[in-house]
């Protein structure tokens, strides 16, 4: 036996021993393995983006379900399903604890009022979300076999549960497993065909493949699945490299954008008594000379300010409207996030988180009201029950915000038609029904957001990566104005034209890129992901029949 052969044999033996120990683990040791591997997988997400670390949870998932099959075989199917559910829950807990801990920053903005909710944001939210991977493990266990095809059973079960996480209970597709690929600009290009959900199915199967290097059910370990996974990842990277080799996108003639990132912190500095100082800051930054716009706002056609730009109702403040209109005397148009108030015939108020459009003549009729509100951030679910217990939303408006309605289209004078996205609306991919609704395709996406709630944590980086993935999926440019960052203009490939880092004050001047031809994802929504899911389900069933 050569030295190289002996080394491979030794490594395979150690790998097989590790797999066996994980599969046969029980009690708190099994829970710790599941939780720890999930935590490691969270490092594959921004801002760390160590893609290969997603191998840890996906490989361990296969071995844990192998162990759940052994327990089910010696006892009952129900015991195996309980074991799989527990393993999936603990893995999900580790993944979400380490991937979403920064949510707790929001409750500390007004600590005197909301600090009591810190355990709910940091522990209860991950614990609740962990139910989805737990159910994914159960679905996989029902399809399980000793065949190498069991990685497709995991891909189908866990991928389907991640898809459900983005749809059920208003949806929360934050940090889908597919973002391990989606945060990498080259690997993310395949999303133009299969979307976020397709990335998730592919990521699970690819990163789980090394688990088949160990024995299962008396079978000899094989290299074929791992080689196939490496080949698939290489093809995905090659596809991305070819797309990104395209020349710089053409731009819309006659349009010059200016994005304002004021970096105004939440809390006292955003209090109503500081309204004048905040407005002066926006106006001064908007007219700041830069190398690309030496005459300030006079060189700009459209100003864009972020979400919740003011600690007051802009449409009800005549003095603020006059000051802004005077600053736009050169002919620029302002697009800004702002709270909006309407009253019905009975005098009852309704508040909206909106995008407003202003020019030198004042407020224009074009606007957009946010439709997908953040639970507990902008409204309280089961309000009549929870408010009696003292639970209120973080954004303090009476009764919370009301959801907008109508088409998600914004027509701004001098600009092509846009899809407006306020805050976390940008993390939701286009689903099958959305794509087939017959709505006209816009030419670009506008995302205004205020991530200052989360400070200098991974949250804003994750938010930007997910918003950028929408541009890749749909082939549409993304213009993103964020209070504290990350603000950017990206083209339909997700390439940054201009970008401002997190936690700094910045003025960004940019042209508006033109859209790419419609992608598969923009035409058909998640049909590509559904096809992958069906193939994975079929492969899992074949593995079960032939095992």
| Catalytic residue set | 307, 370, 423
Which runs of consecutive H residues, i.e. helices, occur in 75-130?
77-100, 104-107, 111-114, 118-119, 125-129
What CA–CA distance (Å, rounded) separates 53 from 185? Answer: 17
Phi-psi region of 362 (alpha: psi -120 to 50; beta: other; left: phi over 0): left
What CA–CA distance (Å, rounded) separates 197 from 160? Answer: 9
Q: Any idea of the CA torsion for 399, 405, 408, 413, to the nearest 10 degrees?
A: -90
Q: What is the DSSP letter of 102?
A: G
| Residues in Cβ contact with 422 at an 8 Å cutoff, skipping those fewer than 6 apart | 307, 337, 353, 354, 355, 368, 370, 447, 448, 449
446 close to 421: Cβ distance less than 8 angstroms: yes
Q: Are strands 302-305 and 478-482 parallel, antiparallel or unpaired?
A: unpaired
282 close to 304: Cβ distance less than 8 angstroms: no
314 close to 531: Cβ distance less than 8 angstroms: no
Q: Any idea of the CA torsion for 460, 462, 468, 469, to the nearest 10 degrees?
A: -160
Dihedral of alpha carbons 138, 144, 146, 148, sign: negative
Of 270, 276, 367, nearest to 323 by C-alpha is 276
Of 61, 38, 46, nearest to 188 by C-alpha is 46
What length is written for the chain?
A: 547
Q: What is the DSSP letter of 214?
A: S
Q: Give me 48's structure tokens.
A: 């760390």
Q: Give me 199's structure tokens.
A: 């990335």
Report the first-to-last Cα separation within the chain, whole angstroms: 32
Instruction: State the DSSP string of 237-281.
Output: HHHHHHHHTSPPPPB-TT--EEEEE--PPSSGGGSGGGHHHHHHH
Distance from the Cα of residue 49 to its chain's centroid? 14
């Amino acid at each position: 036996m050569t030295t190289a052969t002996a080394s491979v044999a030794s490594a395979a033996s150690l790998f097989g021993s590790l797999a066996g120990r994980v599969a046969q683990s029980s009690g708190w040791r099994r829970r710790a393995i599941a939780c720890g591997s999930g935590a490691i997988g969270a490092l594959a997400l921004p801002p760390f983006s160590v893609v290969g670390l997603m191998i840890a949870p996906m490989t361990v998932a296969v071995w844990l379900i192998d162990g759940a099959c052994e327990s089910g075989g010696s006892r009952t199917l129900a015991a195996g399903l309980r074991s799989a559910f527990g393993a999936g829950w603990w893995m999900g807990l580790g993944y979400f604890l380490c991937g979403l801990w920064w949510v707790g920053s929001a409750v500390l903005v007004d600590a005197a009022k909301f600090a009591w909710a810190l355990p709910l944001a940091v522990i209860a939210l991950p614990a609740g979300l962990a139910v989805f991977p737990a159910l994914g493990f159960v679905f996989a266990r029902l399809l399980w076999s000793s065949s190498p095809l069991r990685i497709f059973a995991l891909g189908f079960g866990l991928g389907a549960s991640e898809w459900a996480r983005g749809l059920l209970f208003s949806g929360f597709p934050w940090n889908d497993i597919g973002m391990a690929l989606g945060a990498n600009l080259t690997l993310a290009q395949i999303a133009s065909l299969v979307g976020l959900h397709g990335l998730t199915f592919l990521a699970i199967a690819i990163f789980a493949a090394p688990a088949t290097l160990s024995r299962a059910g008396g079978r000899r370990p094989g290299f074929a699945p791992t080689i196939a996974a490496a080949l698939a990842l290489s093809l995905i990277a090659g596809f991305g490299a070819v797309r990104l080799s395209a020349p710089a996108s053409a731009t819309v003639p006659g349009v010059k954008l200016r994005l304002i990132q004021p970096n105004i912190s939440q809390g006292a500095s955003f209090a109503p008594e500081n309204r004048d100082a905040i407005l002066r800051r926006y106006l001064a930054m908007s007219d700041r000379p830069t190398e690309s716009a030496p005459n300030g706002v006079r060189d700009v056609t459209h100003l864009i300010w972020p979400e919740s730009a003011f600690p007051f109702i802009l449409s009800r403040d005549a003095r603020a409207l006059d000051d802004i209109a005077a600053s736009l005397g050169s002919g620029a148009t302002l697009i800004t996030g702002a709270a909006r108030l309407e009253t019905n015939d009975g005098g009852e108020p309704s508040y909206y988180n909106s995008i407003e459009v202003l020019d030198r003549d004042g407020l224009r009729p074009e606007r957009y009201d946010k439709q997908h509100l953040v639970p507990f951030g902008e409204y309280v679910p089961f309000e009549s029950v929870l408010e009696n217990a003292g639970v209120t939303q973080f954004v303090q408006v009476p009764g919370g915000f009301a959801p907008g309605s109508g088409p998600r289209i914004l027509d701004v004078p001098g600009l092509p038609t846009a899809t407006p996205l306020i805050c976390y609306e940008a993390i939701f991919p286009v689903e099958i029904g959305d794509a087939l609704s017959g709505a006209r395709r816009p030419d670009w996406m506008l995302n205004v957001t205020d991530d200052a709630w989360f400070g200098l944590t991974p949250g804003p980086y994750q938010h930007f990566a997910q918003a950028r993935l929408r541009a890749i999926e749909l082939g549409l440019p993304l213009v993103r104005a964020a209070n504290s960052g990350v603000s950017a203009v990206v083209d339909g490939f997700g390439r940054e034209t201009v970008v401002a880092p997190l936690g700094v004050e910045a003025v960004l001047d940019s042209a508006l890129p033109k859209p790419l031809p419609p992608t598969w994802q923009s035409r058909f929504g998640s049909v590509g992901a559904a096809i992958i899911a069906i193939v994975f389900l079929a492969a899992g069933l074949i593995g079960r029949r032939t095992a």
